[in-house]
Amino acid sequence: VYRHRKMKHEFDEIRAINEMLNSYQEDRAATSAVQNDEKDDKSCMTVRQNGNQELIFAPESLIYVESVANYAEVCYLCDQEIKKISLRSTLKQLKESLSTHVYIIQCHRGFIVNLNFVEKLQCENNSYFLNLFYVDKKIPVSRTKKADIKAALAALQHK
C-alpha cells in the first residue's frame, strides 16, 4: 500500500511538471509570435578555448551541455541546425557563466539543460529523463534536481 501511494504521488508530480512545461511552452509560443526576435550583444556568450578559439552564441539557443571528464560538450541551435562542440571547460565554469539566465538549469550532475527546449519529463524504470525538442537524446534528471526543475518552471511562469 505504501509503495502504491508513493508511486501515485510521483506520477502526480510528473504530471504536474509536464502540465507546467506545456503551459510554459504555450506562453513562449504566444509571446514569440507577438515580439520580434531582436538580438542584442548582451545576450551572447563567449567561451575561450586554448587562448585562440571562441564560441559565440545566444544563450537562448543553447539546448544542453554534457560533462565529459574535463570537457563540456555543448549542443546548441545555430541557423536552424543543431551543432555540437567540445570545449575544454568544466560544467561548473559554464554553469557560472550562464547563471544569470533562469531558464538554464542543472538537471543532473553531468548535465545542464535549457528549459525552453524541454518537451516533457518522463519516468522509466524508476529513473527520470527529459525529452527535448530537436534532440533524440534523453537527458537524465536526478531525484534531487527534479524539485529544482519544478521551482524554476514555477518562477518562469510567474514572470
pLDDT at 86: 85
* Residue 43 DSSP label: G
pLDDT tens track for 67-115: 998 888 999 988 888 888 888 888 888 888 888 888 999 999 999 999 9
Q: Looking at residue 48, what is its pLDDT?
A: 54
Q: How buried is residue 153: exposed, middle or buried, by Cβ count under 10 Å (0-12/13-18/19+)?
A: buried
- The values of phi and psi at residue 35, to 5°, are -90, 155
Query: Residue 38: its pLDDT value, please?
Result: 44
- Please give the grid coordinates belonging to residue 39: 538580438
- Write out pLDDT tens, residues 122-154: 988 888 999 999 899 999 999 889 888 888 888
122 within 8 A of 131, measured Cβ to Cβ: yes
Above 80 in pLDDT, residue 159?
no
Determine contact, residues 113/141, Cβ cutoff 8 Å: no
The residue ranking higher by pLDDT, 78 or 55, is 78
Of 65, 67, 90, nearest to 75 by C-alpha is: 65
Judge whether residue 13 has pLDDT over 80.
yes
Q: Is pLDDT of 40 > 80?
A: no
Decide if pLDDT at 37 tops 50: no
Number of helices followed by number of strands (H, E) in the chain: 3, 10
